[in-house]
Amino acid sequence: MPLLVQKYGGTSVGTIKRIEAVADKVIGYKNQGNDMVVVVSAMSGETNRLVSLAQDIDSQAKGRELDVLLTTGEQVTIALLAMAFEKRGYPARSYTGGQVRIVTDSAHNKARIKSIDDENIKRDLDAGRIVVVAGFQGIDEDSNITTLGRGGSDTTGVALAAALKADECQIFTDVDGVYTTDPRVEPDARRLNTITFEEMLEMASLGSKVLQTRAVEFAQKYQVPLRVLSSFESGEGTLITTEYEADDIMEQALISGIAFNRDEAQLTINGVADTPGVAYQILGPISDANIEVDMILQNIGADGTTDFTFTVHRNDFDTALASLQKAAGSLEAREVSGNNKIVKISIVGVGMRSHAGIASRMFEVLAKEGINILMISTSEIKISVVVDEKYLELGVRALHEGFDLKQES
């Protein structure tokens, strides 16, 4: 019997009515002869509500107890959805991550899945039950509850699909697939029939929250057929593929999509000595504080000094600035400054490999709109620029138009 793992996100289970609609939808697939494993998120807004409760007690709340708190959101939805199945005469059983035994490492708030025990699920499927699993959570070797990072239910879905060798992992959400860019910013964005894993991985890690980055990594590694679809309308959605289907129009495209990230902040230390070890002295304490650095830029000044600029997640801005100010003394720096009102816009596409001049076209489009570029970084299939946050919408839309990604008329 074919096996489908379906994941329904927060908006899709946001009310009792919607949970009931999900139950009906899943039953439709079950009646077509599929075994069904359903992964659900917390009801929309619930995880944020729980985070803010924690922050009312400790503005820096993190670690073990935050995970105990946040996982309750998903526990509510699995129970409600399983009840909806039972009420409709379909035997079902709900599981928290720990009950399945989704074992993770112990990195609270951003744990990685190490193994999944499929015994309980397989037994239930063999008994004809629909299995409902809480997304976003697991337990470590010592049975501490862990979470997989925001958006982590996608990864639960993919990991279960890999462990159970499902025929497809279907991510149901509030859009009907992966678009050329976030349709909330560019209403003319176009749904892609297919996108390669490589591109999807770049899009996700550069800020497209439609799929969690780790879910894409996992699916690529374990060759899980992965599709993004709408919970609310029917359609084929977007299939994430290893290669473009030969007749797919996107084969011709220079770039496939535009991603952006609003969670950026930039720090600069000016006038430090241009000698070996300086980068380490600046970034060592940042990494010791567990802060991830994204882009790094170093300018060489004429007077033997150098300016050093880098970006971090906006949540880490204050800590990074304090660390830099501390380092500034021993480095005899001229000045330390920071800007947490910046964003990163990236264009992504495997077509870049075979076409020159894409970067200059990107810069031309932004220049025409009077958008100043603060930093640039490139890799084989992406170009990212950092710009003032007030230019986010304008920049994304101009690039969407400039690279001809609009809806076909």
For ligand ADP, the binding residues (CB under 6 A) are: 9-12, 41, 151, 173-175, 178-179, 181-182, 184, 208-210, 257
Shortest distance, position 14 Cβ to ligand ASP, whole Å: 11
Selected binder of ligand ASP within 12, 34, 41, 180 (CB under 6 A)? 41
The total of other beta-carbon atoms located within 10 Å of residue 331's CB is 18
Return the structure tokens found at 136.
Answer: 């976003």
Shortest distance, position 12 Cβ to ligand ADP, whole Å: 6
Shortest distance, position 148 Cβ to Mg ion, whole Å: 11
Assess 150 for contact with ligand ASP (CB under 6 A): yes
Return the structure tokens found at 291.
Answer: 């802060």
Measured distance CA(9)–CA(154) in Å, rounded: 8
Assess 151 for contact with Mg ion (CB under 5 A): yes
The option from Mg ion, ligand ADP, ligand ASP, none interacting with 98 (CB < 5 to 8 A, set by class) reads none
Sign for the pseudo-dihedral over CA of 147, 150, 154, 159: negative
CA angle 11, 96, 64 (to 5 degrees): 95
Assess 384 for contact with ligand ASP (CB under 6 A): no
Q: Closest residue (Cβ) to Mg ion? A: 151
Q: Which residue has the tokens 């070797």?
A: 141
The option from ligand ADP, ligand ASP, Mg ion, none interacting with 395 (CB < 5 to 8 A, set by class) reads none
Q: Phi and psi of 68, rounded to 5°? A: -60, -40
Nearer to ligand ASP, 69 or 394 (CB): 69
Assess 47 for contact with ligand ASP (CB under 6 A): yes
Nearer to Mg ion, 156 or 384 (CB): 156
Q: Phi and psi of 120, rounded to 5°? A: -60, -45
Enter the DSSP assignment of 254: S
Interacting residues with ligand ASP between 83 and 142 (CB under 6 A): 135-136
Measured distance CA(399)–CA(171) in Å, rounded: 28
Stretches 4-12, 162-170, 338-346, 390-398: which one binds Mg ion (CB under 5 A)?
Answer: 4-12
Nearer to ligand ASP, 12 or 323 (CB): 12
Q: Are 170 and 4 in contact (CB under 8 A)?
A: yes
Q: Are 38 and 80 in contact (CB under 8 A)?
A: no
Q: Report how far apart, in Å, the C-alpha atoms of 31 and of each of 8, 24, 26, 27, 40 are.
A: 19, 10, 9, 6, 20
CA angle 39, 44, 49 (to 5 degrees): 115
Shortest distance, position 277 Cβ to ligand ASP, whole Å: 40
Shortest distance, position 182 Cβ to ligand ADP, whole Å: 4
Measured distance CA(147)–CA(70) in Å, rounded: 8
Number of residues engaging ligand ASP in binding (CB under 6 A): 13
Q: Report how far apart, in Å, the C-alpha atoms of 69 and of each of 49, 100, 146, 316 are.
A: 11, 19, 10, 22
Measured distance CA(54)–CA(75) in Å, rounded: 18
Residue whose C-alpha is closest to residue 134's, from 82, 171, 211, 209:
82
The option from ligand ADP, Mg ion, ligand ASP, none interacting with 336 (CB < 5 to 8 A, set by class) reads none
Q: Closest residue (Cβ) to ligand ADP? A: 9
Stretches 125-133, 151-159, 173-181, 289-297: which one binds ligand ASP (CB under 6 A)?
Answer: 151-159
Return the structure tokens found at 325.
Answer: 């100010």
Assess 14 for contact with ligand ASP (CB under 6 A): no
Selected binder of ligand ASP within 13, 22, 23, 42 (CB under 6 A)? 42
Selected binder of ligand ASP within 138, 151, 157, 395 (CB under 6 A)? 151
Which residues make up the interface to ligand ASP (CB under 6 A)?
A: 9-10, 41-42, 47, 73, 135-136, 150-154
Interface residue list for Mg ion (CB under 5 A): 9, 151
